Chain A
Amino acid sequence: MNSTDTSRTKDKAFRILGISTTVGCVLILAVFIGFIIYQGMERLSWEFLVSLPSRFAEQSGIYTAWIGTLWVLVLTTLISFPLGVGAGIYLEEYGKKNKLAKFLEINIANLAGVPSVIYGLLGLEAFVRIMKMGNSILAGSLTLALLILPIIIVSTREAISAVPSSIRDASNALGASKWQTIWHQILPASFGGILTGVILALSRAVGETAPLIVVGALAYVPFAPQGPMDEFTVLPIQIFNWVSRPQHEFVINAAAAIIVLLFITFLMNGIAVYLRNRWQNKMNW
């Protein structure tokens, strides 16, 4: 009797602990974001978005930073999307049985766990120095593309393996070749899932700071980049630069830039979640 009562009390206590911990975490996040908005909103203006950086906090803007981010985003997409999806297709559809596939799988799991700053060192040596790209957008984008490749590969594989095997059988039984089945059936059916994974991976790339600092993206770039071989900065680096300054005005600039960065990140995640839900509903055949 008594022991049952204690058990029930513990049960109740944990339920309260559980909900308060979970809600607590969400609240902390809300407080953080609220603080940022409170601090940064006053600086956020059209001026701020289209101004070049300056020694004076009030005249500084994030124009070069978000143009740089946009460049990096586009190039990273162009590089990582075909590579990642191609590798995902290969692992899921072609190399399933052999030892090589097993090795590739472990290798990809490992790469996913390599700290991003290490990718920066790879990019610094391989792209900036050996391939002589300099501290360019291209070098930075290649580095980020390699960084998010494992995420794209894994989500491509998941999306492909969610396609029911009956579809594959039906296509094969009609005399379709392997690639015809992949191209006409598997990819269209899994595209929503693949796209979701790619967008999530890219949203991570947008927020990356350390690897780009290591490959030599600059904290101060006087002009917006014109092409892939130009020097550049990105939003997170601009934020890092401003946070590190002692003057309060620059901290406010950082907060304002964070609002923009969070907006981009949340927007991309929102799109990804929307696509995933739509795709999952469609997949119920």
Chain B
Amino acid sequence: MESETKSPKATQEKTEPKMDSKSQNYKLHAKNIDVFYDDFKAINNISLGILEKSITAFIGPSGCGKSTFLRLFNRMNDYIDGFSMNGNILLDDKNIYDPDLKVEELRKTVGMVFQKPNPFPKSIYENVAYGLRIQGIKDEDFIEERVITSLKQATLFSEIEDNLDKSALSLSGGQQQRLCIARALAVKPSVLLMDEPTSALDPISSGKIEDLVHELKKDYTIVIVTHNMQQAGRVSDNTAFLYMGSLIEYGDTQKIFTNPEKDRTQNYITGRFG
């Protein structure tokens, strides 16, 4: 209903009642999430909703659980030994932890970009085509078209146009990361999770990624984890501040950065700890 996140006011109102979590208009909706690694409680009762076609940033000091929380949205934590959780997460109002849900299908809808660029040791073309091939798509024209669109979307195409058959490992770090974004886009997800996507990159490459993220917002719901405060401030519409597994504050980015409600948020943002 209200996907127009343009006005900060709207999002602010939207995100204010996050703890009682009653709105149905969220693209992603986490409800009363606890996460345990064996006996260690990594996430402590977090609820929050994420609006469609917005950019939401998770910030907080290392080990606060922001990456763990992010990885809940495409169930990447499932592989970790000793992982268990309570609560549920809705994607378009459907519980993604439903035992009948196919996790492979979920991940086609919820794409992910990782901290370090992780291209496959294959050609640039095959990297982007991979997600389609594993879906059993054989139509080579279709694949090629999709590869090129995705590379264009990821603003990489012009740089590597003539070298699609070259190994992805020959690209620079920044190019590799944009390739990974293109690879994620090729399967047409509606959500893109980004786990500190620029932490391994130089400032110029980071800038390109940030521009790209901004561009992608038109079509995708983006959740980005970052330890870089300025980055969160620059790119996101909403920001969630996590500390020691708890959600301390969540709301409009501008408000969080200029006038946070909690002292702890204030201290973190101004660099007094972290």
Contacts and interface: CB of A to CB of B under 8 A. Distances in A.
A167 interface: yes
Interface in B93-135: 104-108, 111-112, 114, 116, 118-121, 130-131, 133-135
13 contacts: A166-B114, A169-B118, A170-B114, A170-B120, A170-B183, A172-B79, A174-B107, A174-B111, A175-B104, A176-B104, A177-B104, A184-B133, A282-B121
Interface string A136-178: 0000000000000000000000000000101101111111110
Given A97-B81, A166-B114, A169-B114, A175 B135 contact: yes
A163 to B, nearest CB: 9
Contact of B107 (A96, A166, A172, A185): A172
A285 B114 contact: no
A185 B79 contact: no
A180 interface: yes
A189 interface: yes
A171 B130 contact: yes
Interface string B125-151: 000001101110000000000000000
Contact of A167 (B107, B112, B118, B134): B118
Interface string B222-253: 00000000000000000000000000000000
A173 B107 contact: yes
Contacts of A96: 81
B114 A176 contact: no
Nearest to B115: A166
A167 B104 contact: no
Interface in A166-205: 166-167, 169-177, 180, 184-185, 188-189
A175 B131 contact: yes
Nearest to A170: B118
Interface residues of B, number: 27
Contact of B120 (A172, A180, A185, A282): A185
Given A166-B116, A169-B114, A174 B121 contact: no
Contacts of A164: 118
B74 A173 contact: yes
Contacts of B183: 170, 174
Nearest to B180: A170
Given A97-B81, A285-B121, 15 more contacts: A96-B81, A166-B114, A166-B116, A169-B112, A170-B114, A170-B120, A171-B134, A173-B111, A173-B112, A173-B184, A174-B131, A175-B107, A175-B135, A176-B104, A177-B104
B105 A285 contact: no
Contacts of B79: 172
A177 B103 CA distance: 9
Given A180-B134, A184-B130, A184-B134, A175 B118 contact: no
Contact of A174 (B81, B116, B119, B130): B130
Nearest to A168: B79
A174 B118 contact: no
A151 B134 CA distance: 32
A163 B243 CA distance: 33
B10 interface: no
A285 B169 contact: yes
Q: Which 3 A-B residue pairings sit nearest by Cβ, starting from the closest?
A: A166-B118, A173-B112, A175-B108
Contacts of A166: 114, 116, 118
A175 B183 CA distance: 12
Interface string B13-35: 00000000000000000000000
Interface string A186-228: 0011000000000000000000000000000000000000000
A189 B122 CA distance: 10
Contacts of A185: 120
Which of A166, A169, A175, A180 has the most chain B CB atoms inside 10 A of its CB? A175
A173 B73 CA distance: 11
B160 interface: no
Contacts of B135: 175
Contacts of A285: 121, 169
Contacts of A174: 107-108, 111, 130-131, 134, 183-184, 187
